[in-house]
Homo-oligomer: A and B are copies of this chain.
């Protein structure tokens, strides 16, 4: 394939003139501009974008680090990120790490190698020290609460969301409360664990470790939870479920085996998935799409203005009361 020197030769001009024409810069005569476009046509020329990125010292690519995609949270966040990326003419490069620390470090290394201009971290296993170490390489946005740490972040206050839902259950009279969660590690999960401890102590109730159901990510996990619940001698009367998909699995399977929701077991989900509406699941709406939108806007703002002020943006949640709790 033809390169810019071939093109210049064909048009009878210099490579600088060709570059001016291709990039729409001024100070080129009409005659020479025309000759260049004719040469482009004749040679079927396209720029090599690797050379452009090398010469300019930047790309129009933002990396996205996430464990996997096929989960409503991650696909909603990416949808939000993508909407803004399209708007500003950026591409997204996926780093699907499956919570593997080596892979997460590899993604950070790619930022350093200038494969992309910034990185959005949807969820991770690696310590914050790793992000701190790579901060100088380009903007990194974390989609989690980072406390006093000097990171760019956009987050949902899962602690407060959990507090709100737990207090609602306590107010309804529940004293035997458990919860379902995807993972126990990670700051979002630890915030929820802290809220659980705090609110139950506040209500004078001892939290029960066996009423915490881990590894709850998908619909099928909800099925497993209700079966475990049935098998318990002493059962919680309410469950907070950190995914509407899982809550739906619980509600649907409860219907099949005759467990009455909310009489025997009250369910509060999170996300406000369409399934929650159709199944009447009380849920805490989490703005995942907006989280993605904001994460991209933070990176874009940094890249456009060079403003390296690392701020944290909180997004609101909302308890939506339906029939399951």
Contacts and interface: CB of A to CB of B under 8 A. Distances in A.
Given A50-B59, A51-B54, A278-B252, A79 B86 contact: no
A253 B278 contact: yes
A282 interface: no
A91 interface: yes
A274 B218 CA distance: 9
Interface residues of A: mostly helix, strand, loop or mixed?
Answer: helix
B278 A47 contact: no
A39 to B, nearest CB: 17
B93 A219 contact: no
Contacts of A91: 93-95, 110, 115
Interface in A87-145: 91-96, 98, 103, 109-110, 112-115
Nearest to A91: B93
A12 to B, nearest CB: 25
A85 B94 CA distance: 10
A248 B220 CA distance: 15
A189 interface: no
Residue with the highest number of chain B CB atoms closer than 10 Å, among A75, A103, A219 = A75
Nearest to A274: B219
Interface in A60-88: 61, 68-72, 75-76, 78-79, 82, 85-86
A223 interface: yes
A46 interface: yes
Contact of A54 (B46, B50, B93): B50
Contacts of A252: 278-279
Contact of A76 (B70, B92, B274): B70
Contacts of A46: 109, 112-113
A325 interface: no
A320 B93 CA distance: 37
Nearest to A44: B112
A49 interface: yes
A249 interface: yes
A91 B107 CA distance: 10
A53 interface: yes
A48 interface: yes
B82 A78 contact: no
Interface string A256-284: 10000000000000000011001100000
A98 B83 CA distance: 10
A235 to B, nearest CB: 21
Contacts of A79: 68-70
23 contacts: A48-B113, A48-B114, A49-B115, A50-B59, A50-B115, A61-B93, A69-B78, A70-B76, A70-B78, A70-B79, A71-B75, A75-B75, A82-B96, A85-B96, A86-B103, A91-B93, A91-B110, A92-B93, A93-B94, A94-B94, A219-B275, A249-B278, A253-B278
